[in-house]
Structure 1
Amino acid sequence: MGLGQSSKSPVTGDTDEVNFDHFQILRAIGKGSFGKVCIVQKKDSKKMFAMKYMNKLKCVERNEVRNVLKELQIMRNLEHPFLVNIWYSFQDEEDMFMVVDLLLGGDLRYHLQHNVHFSDGTVKLYVCELASALGYLRSKRIIHRDIKPDNILLDEHGHVHLTDFNIAAIVKDDLKATTIAGTKPYMAPELFEIFEGSHPGYSFAVDWWSLGVTAYELLRGQRPYVMRSSTPANEILHTFRKVHLSFPPSWSSYIKSLLRKKRRLNCDPTFELEEMILESKPLHKKKKRLARKSRDQGSDGSPQNGHLQQRLDNVQRDFIIFNREKSTKAAVDPDSTEVSKCSEKKAKEDGQNNNVEPASFSSG
Structure 2
Amino acid sequence: MWTSQNITAFERSRSWLPLGNSSVHRGQELLERRYSFQDEEDMFMVVDLLLGGDLRYHLQQNVHFTEGAVKLYICELALALEYLQRYHIIHRDIKPDNILLDEHGHVHITDFNIATVVKGAEKASSMAGTKPYMAPEVFQVYVDGGPGYSYPVDWWSLGVTAYELLRGWRPYEIHSATPIDEILNMFKVERVHYSSTWCKGMVALLKKLLTKDPESRLSSLSDVQSAPYLADMNWDAVFEKALMPGFVPNKGRLNCDPTFELEEMILESKPLHKKKKRLAKHRSKDSTKDSCLLNGHLQQCMETVRKEFIIFNREKLRRQQGPDGQLLNHDSRAASQASSKLQDGHNNNILAHACPGGCSS
Q: TM-score, normalised by structure 1?
A: 0.72
* Secondary structure in structure 2 of the residue aligned to 1:193: helix
Please tell me the residue identity of whatever aligns with 1:249. S
Residues 94/178 of structure 1: CA separation in 2 closer, same or farther (3 Å cut): closer
| Alignment-derived partner of residue 89 in structure 2 | 142
Q: Which residue of 1 aligns with 2:65?
A: 118
1:339: how far off?
3.0
Hey, what's the Cα distance between the residues in 1 that align with 2:266 and 2:160? 38
Percent pairwise identity: 54
CA offset digits 1:265-314 (Å, max 9, x no partner): 31112345457788776545655665565566568x99985896344553
Residues in 2 aligned to 1:277 and 1:232: alpha-carbon distance in whole angstroms: 31
Deviation at 1:173, TM superposition (A): 1.2
- 2-side partners of 1:331 and 1:302: how far apart? 44
Would you say 1:76 and 2:15 are equivalent positions?
yes
Moved more, 301-310 or 163-172: 301-310
- Which stretch shows the higher mean deviation, 198-207 or 102-111? 198-207
What is the CA RMSD across the aligned residues, in angstroms? 3.1
Q: With CA pairs under 8 Å and 6+ residues apart, which has the higher RCO, 1 or 2?
A: 2
How far, CA to CA, are the matches of 2:142 and 2:292 in structure 1? 42
Shift of residue 235, structure 1, vs aligned partner: 1.2
Matches within 5 A, 1:11-90: 64-66=2-4, 69-70=7-8, 72-74=10-12, 75-77=14-16, 80-90=27-37
Secondary structure class of the residue paired with 2:329: helix
The alpha carbon displacement at 1:358 in A equals 4.0
Matched with 1:347 is 338
2:122 pairs, out of 175, 180, 185, with 175
The match for 2:308 among 304, 318, 330 is: 318
**When the two structures are aligned, how many residues end up with a matched partner?**
297
Q: Which has the higher strand share?
A: 1
2 CA distance for matches of 1:72 and 1:155?
20
Query: Alpha-carbon deviations, 1:112-145, whole Å to 9, x = none?
Result: 1111110000000111000000001110011111
Alignment gaps of 5+ in structure 1: 1-58
1:357 aligns with 2:346: yes
Match of 2:106 in 1: 159
Contact persistence 1:183–1:361 (CA under 8 A)? no
Counterpart CA distance in 1 for 2:185 and 2:267 is 45
Paired amino acid for 2:56: R
- TM-score of the pair, normalised by structure 2: 0.73
Contact (CA 8 Å) 1:106, 1:266: kept in 2 or not? Answer: yes
Q: What is the aligned partner in structure 2 of residue 243 from structure 1?
A: 190
Decide which of 204, 211, 218 is 2:165's aligned counterpart. 218
Q: Distance in 1 between matches of 2:309 and 2:336?
A: 18
Give the 3 Å change call, closer, same or farther, for CA 121–276 of structure 1 in structure 2. Answer: same
Q: Which residue of 2 aligns with 1:256?
A: 203
Q: Secondary structure at the match of 1:89?
A: strand
Once the 2 structures are TM-superposed, how far is the Cα of residue 251 of structure 1 from its aligned partner?
0.8
Shift in alpha-carbon separation, 1:278–1:206, aligned structure 2, 3 A:
closer
Unaligned stretches of 5+ in structure 2?
18-25, 208-247, 352-361
Q: 2:41 matched to 1:94? A: yes
- 1:37 corresponds to: none
Work out the CA distance in 2 between the residues paired with 1:146 and 1:303: 41
Amino acid at match of 2:15: R
Is 159-168 or 271-280 further displaced after alignment? 271-280
